[in-house]
Amino acid sequence: MRLPLALILFLSHSFVLGARPTKRFYHTHDYYVLEHDPHAGASLEDCALALGVEVVEQAGELVNHWLVRIPKYVQKRDGVDVVLSSLASLRSLASEDPSLSARSTSSLHARELSSSIRWLNRQQLRQRAKRAPPPIPPDTDSPDPVKAVAERLDIRDPSFPQQWHLINVPYPEHSMNVTGLWDLGFTGKGVVSALVDDGLAYEHPDLAANFWAKGSHDFNDHEDLPTPKLFDDHHGTRCAGQIGAVKNDACGVGIAWDSKIAGIRILSGPITDVDEAASLNFGFQETSIYSCSWGPPDDGKSMEAPGYLIEKAIVNGITNGRGGKGSVFVYASGNGASHDDQCNFDGYTNSIYSVTVAAVDHQGLHPYYSEACAANLIVAYSSGGGQNIVTTDIHNKCSSGHGGTSAAAPNAAGVFALALGVRPELTWRDVQHIAIRTSRVVNPNDPDWEKTAAGRSFSYKYGYGVLDGYAYVMEAQKWELVKPQAWIHLPAIQLSGGVMNANFEMSGGESIGPGGVSSKITVTADSLKEHNFETLEHVTVRVWIEHTKRGDVSVELVSPNGIKSMLAAPRSGDTANTGFPGWRFMSVKHWDESPVGDWTIRVFDKEDPEHEGKFLGWTMSLWGSVIDPAKTKEYIVPQIEHTLPPDHEAENPDSSATTKVLPKPTDHLPGDHDQAEGEATKPAFSQPTKTPESVTSTFTSTTPTSTGTMVPTVDEGLTSQLSNLFGERGWIFGAGAVVLLFGVGVGIFFWRRAVRKRQNYTSLPGDEVAMSSIRQEPTGRTRELYDAFGEVSDDEDDVDERTGLHSGYDPRGGLQFHTGFLDDDDPQSAGTPLNGAAPYRDDPIDQSRRGRSSPGTDESWEHASQTR
């Protein structure tokens, strides 16, 4: 019985490790991620055997994390997860008193197994939402300064004159300011950026020569190449063009036109955490930048953060990626500002590990879609005020309808690519430091600007200002690298006995009355020294707040120097009654400030008599650079961070039992999204009208109350549990041996084929491929670009072609998911009827898209089926 499993393990290790992720079969198997501790006594093989699972492969680039699976038919019909309940039995057996001799041997073994299985999580398919607002035809005047640069640098790209984000004729001060860098020969050579998105049209004449196949993968359809397949899989291609469009005669040019671009396709269907984690580390030695223009819905009512596995992948990326210099994660801040959405309610954009980029329009004004928050680092140019971003598109076309914070992020990524081309040794934190120091203030009279303690200007809308490519790269050239990262987790403050257990059950806490509740914590110079902490960068704050209407709650943090970070401002559409169960906020506003002294947090609400809440407690962490690099520590992501007080030792064997709901996509973006005039006169968050009347300062000593994780007791010993599993499943292993012999043959065949196939793509130096893939006349493309200025978007032409592109859909069954995720994309290109005329389609997703056109159908969840 052990033999086939051992062989399976051998096969999966030798064939799969270090290779491409294998195809997933979510319709026939349930997948889990097992975090294995190789030093705790039990081998991976033994753990897999005890759980009755098959080891598939390592989970992306996460060492000691394994993707395991079990056929769906093995699962019990009553909904009990056999794998999780096996683990629960193991854990309960392991916790038995060893002095009870009858079971001591098995409980000893169970203890070994139980501690060797550090974490087990069932994978759920979830959908990430793209970020792009509606397009508008740009002005087509093509004036002289453009001609001068074009002639000097031999730029013959027909859309170059429309790329105002490169040279802005009417508003010359508002561009990414990179042409001066091109003059110096800085074009991003040797740098790879990955577009984590919905695919990349790698055969497009504007992209083919810069396509980096080795760092590309399709995590939706589990293929090597990120082919855009759905009719509106154009988002990644448009973002890619902004960074790496080739200087030639197709469309426009990218900011880093000699850099390489990879496509990692994750947005064209639901995805599990393990695949999202793998995607964020894919090719992470050669790929420097991961440009991510997506996230939880921007609907003003979502509050969602990456799970443990994804957080681990991000930390793995900044720690081990790019030879230890750290992957640069660039995230779009989000397009939900008109729904009061804020980037501090999105765990990707408020991560300290990501560069969060919001948008300004061609006049440097704040486009009203662009989300504000204390975690915004910078802004970059994008759509608004009647202008869009002009870039490459699928089907060998050009796009003049790209925009939103989706397009701001790749503009920043392009600048970072130029900088890394010159200074490849910049760490992920250097990238942030230089951005903070070189970004430019726009609209100096905007009330949102405030001085930080370090003397810089910061705004929730603009972060530290608009990214200036020239200033950035000039500073990067001479920049002295920062010392390694240091951090301090300050002890938890619990108010009036505020506690939350691992099952999110809250108790205690201080009622939020008029004026709110405040609480203080003191940071001493000694504690800084003790933690090897020199200078401050990010501040994160975790809060535990119970409230009957989350959108009424505001949270602000005031530093010892009187600098205030609004962490949460009211969100009118957020009616959730779940409060803030250990939600983490982030601020970059305190960068380079001395943290010594009292930090005060204040939580208040709208004082609506119909709603009430309690502030249970908070924690604060300071992140910065070390005093002594020799004493640098490695940051370990805790498995459970949401309990109050935090219990970093806690195991969480059954966290996966909680169902994750697919995020409902945003489709509230107004049609005049990009046409509406930007503004520079309103503060991002209106200040509270009331001054605090009674401010309660509460200090609670931080004796951690033990809130042990509940482990369901299954009334079976390990042995009976195991025999049970094998009773049900013994034949599988017998049959497995036969199947295996056949499988080995087939496996070798496919493996060799895959190797051969890969070899065809790994060495894509450019020229050969580029020449052969130029199929279309430049004039044809130009015509299409201009066509796009008319009433009918270029995408609507695609409807006919699209039918053949939908092979991924199978109406007969498979996994269910909500297709409306594309709805937050721009209406024109997403095929949304603008003038009441729905474009025809005859596939299963048709109905949901059509239904979406009427405002009242927000709640209609149409499902399409997808087979893998």
Ligand X SMILES: *[C@@H]1O[C@H](CO)[C@@H](O)[C@H](O)[C@H]1NC(C)=O
Binding site for ligand X (CB under 6 A): 173, 177, 180, 468, 470
Assess contact for 118 and 37: CB atoms under 8 A.
yes
Whether 235 sits among the annotated catalytic residues: the reply is yes
* Displacement of CA 828 from its chain's centroid (Å): 25
Task: Output 180 or 844, the one with its CB closest to ligand X.
Answer: 180
Give the nearest distance from C-beta 446 to ligand X in angstroms.
17
Catalytic residue from among 204, 235, 362, 611 = 235
Q: Min. distance of Cβ 680 from ligand X in angstroms?
A: 17
- Number of residues that this document lists for the chain: 868
Handedness of CA 116, 121, 122, 123 (dihedral sign): negative
Active-site position among 197, 275, 574, 826: 197
- Nearer to ligand X (CB atom), residue 180 or residue 814: 180
How many CB atoms within 10 Å of residue 474?
18
- Closest by CA to 241, choosing from 173, 174, 193, 171, is 193
Task: Round to whole Å and give the CA distance between 785 and 395.
Answer: 12
Question: Which residues touch 301 (CB under 8 Å, ≥6 apart)?
Answer: 339, 551, 571, 573, 574, 575, 576
| CB burial readout 585-614, b (16+ within 10 A) else e | bbbbbbbbbbbeeebbbbbbbbeeeebbbb
- Across 62-165, the runs of DSSP E, i.e. the strands, are 65-71, 117-122, 129-130
Cα-to-chain-centroid distance, residue 227: 21
Q: Which is nearer to ligand X, 144 or 610 (CB)?
A: 144
In the chain, helix, strand, coil percent, each to 5? 30, 20, 50
Query: Shortest Cβ distance from residue 466 to ligand X (Å)?
Result: 9
Output the six-digit token pair for 425.
């040794």
Q: Which residue, 468 or 574, is less far from ligand X as judged by CB?
A: 468
Q: Which is nearer to ligand X, 160 or 470 (CB)?
A: 470
3-class SS of residue 411: helix
What's the closest the beta carbon of residue 173 comes to ligand X, in angstroms?
4
CA distance linking residue 861 with residue 838, whole number of Å: 18
| Contact present, 637 and 308 (Cβ < 8 Å) | yes
> Known catalytic residue: 97?
no
Distances in whole angstroms, Cα of residue 655 to Cα of each of 86, 313, 660:
14, 18, 11
Catalytic residue among 175, 399, 406, 848: 406
- Closest contact distance (angstroms) between CB of 350 and ligand X is 29
Closest to ligand X by CB, 180 vs 808, is 180
Q: Which helix (H) or strand (E) holds 264?
A: strand 260-265
Q: Do residues 487 and 622 make contact, with C-beta atoms less than 8 angstroms apart?
A: yes
Look up tokens 């704050």; give the residue: 541
Distance CA 408, CA 58 (A): 34
Question: How far, in Å, CA of 776 to CA of 88, rounded?
Answer: 61
Give Cα separations from 519 to 36, 221, 687 (angstroms).
40, 50, 20
CB atoms within 10 A of CB 148: 11
CB of 562 to ligand X, least distance (A): 32
Residue 471 CB, nearest distance to ligand X (Å)? Answer: 6
Using Cβ positions, the residue closest to ligand X within the complex turns out to be: 180
**Residue type, position 17, single letter:** L
Furthest CA-CA distance within the chain: 90
Quick one: 733 exposed, middle or buried, by C-beta within 10 A (0-12, 13-18, 19+)?
A: middle
Could you tell me the smallest distance in angstroms from the CB atom of residue 400 to ligand X?
Answer: 24
CB of 150 to ligand X, least distance (A): 16
Is 221 annotated as catalytic?
A: no
Question: Least distance from C-beta 418 to ligand X, angstroms?
Answer: 12
Would you call 113 helix, strand, or coil by DSSP?
helix
To ligand X, the closest distance from the beta carbon of 412 in angstroms equals 16
Residues 6+ apart with CB under 8 A from 254: 188, 210, 240, 241, 242, 243, 244, 245, 246, 261, 414
Task: Classify 332 as helix, strand or coil.
Answer: strand
Q: Least distance from C-beta 462 to ligand X, angstroms?
A: 15
180 or 573: CB nearest ligand X:
180
Tokens for 144?
Answer: 């002289």
Q: With respect to ligand X, which residue has the nearer C-beta, 175 or 349?
A: 175
Cβ closest to ligand X, residue 467 vs residue 601: 467
Structure tokens at 125: 């398919």
Close Cβ partners of 776 (under 8 Å, ≥ 6 residues apart)? 205, 250, 396
Straight-line distance from the first to the last Cα atom of the chain, in angstroms, rounded to the nearest whole number:
30
Name the residue nearer to ligand X (CB basis): 168 or 532. 168
CB nearer to ligand X: give 213 or 256: 256
Amino acid letter, residue 797: D
Residue 440 or 461: which CB sits closer to ligand X?
Answer: 440
Residue 454's Cβ-count burial label (10 Å; 0-12, 13-18, 19+) is middle
Enumerate residues 6+ apart whose C-beta is below 8 A from 483.
534, 625, 626, 629
- Min dist CB 589 to ligand X, Å, is 24
Nearer to ligand X, 171 or 786 (CB): 171
Q: Give the residue numbers marked as catalytic.
A: 197, 235, 406
